[in-house]
Structure 1
Amino acid sequence: MKYQGCFLRNGTKESAELIKVALSKIQNNSGGKFDHNQLVAGLGFGFWRYLFAGGKDAQFDAAGKVLMKVFPKKPKSTPSVQYNQKWIFRELSNINNFRNRLAHHEPICFKGAIKDTGYARNIYQSIFELLNYMDVDTASVFSHFSDQVIAVCDEIDKL
């Protein structure tokens, strides 16, 4: 299958390449067949984060403002907080940075002798809020580990 999407323009060709690589892997592993769910799962978090990157010839502009429809329940913007693509990009960047720190076994609750679970709790809350803004049933998604995250943070705070 040949990729012919909206990312074949200046400034977004890296996204097109990531899609091509993911498609190729899926097709090689499934005898040439694929479905869109496999493609969604085959693209890394960074890809999804950068869909909301702004600027001239950026992914967000290439895909059009339709991407904001992914968050039908996001709050209305106020003079102090603009819930726009830049805000979503920032939130996704914070989550991605946290994920990278976990993947590289970097401390997230300890800095020297100081312990603070605030960073982990804030990221957890951001994930929860973004999923709510996407109209995801967070109660069922988080039912298996929600209490665990809070309990671990509480235990760390008691140390």
Structure 2
Amino acid sequence: MSAERHDYVADTRPVWAPWRIDYIRGPKSGECFFCVKGARDCLGDHVIYKGRHAFVLLNDYPYNSGHLLVAPYRHLATMGELNADERAEMMDLLIQAQAVLSAVMQPQAFNVGFNVGEAAGAGVKDHIHGHVVPRWQGDTNFMPVLGGPRVVPEALDATAELLRQAWK
């Protein structure tokens, strides 16, 4: 019986993700994208819903398809800085986000939470925001296990439009 050697060779073909260039070239002026997107009305921002004190938007760099963010309009770093109205509306929006995602995408579960501070993994450490990530059994496929990239099966503009319609 001969011993065969099967060395793992990583696939080095590029994964095409042209929307990532906006992140790479993103605002270098220190401008907070939550503050910018919360203040304007632009479909390309993927804002799903605007409330009185907080808003919901589709994450442009999602962990999974349908990954939503809930943020206050005010630029605050911690939950303790939120006033009672902001806290209440954010919690209500997190719950509504789950309901809308359930209706549109039928996930089997959710990750819901806040990463507060850079050490906790907050991508935007100075503007508090919550995450609602729909999950499906087996949604972590071979791509992130082998090479790090995630596969998002639908264009962000299409997902945002579906979620906006369902929110109504």
TM-score (norm 2): 0.26
Q: Whose helix fraction is larger, Structure 1's or Structure 2's?
A: 1
Instruction: Return the structure number with greater relative CO, CA threshold 8 A, min gap 6.
Output: 2
Q: Whose strand fraction is larger, Structure 1's or Structure 2's?
A: 2
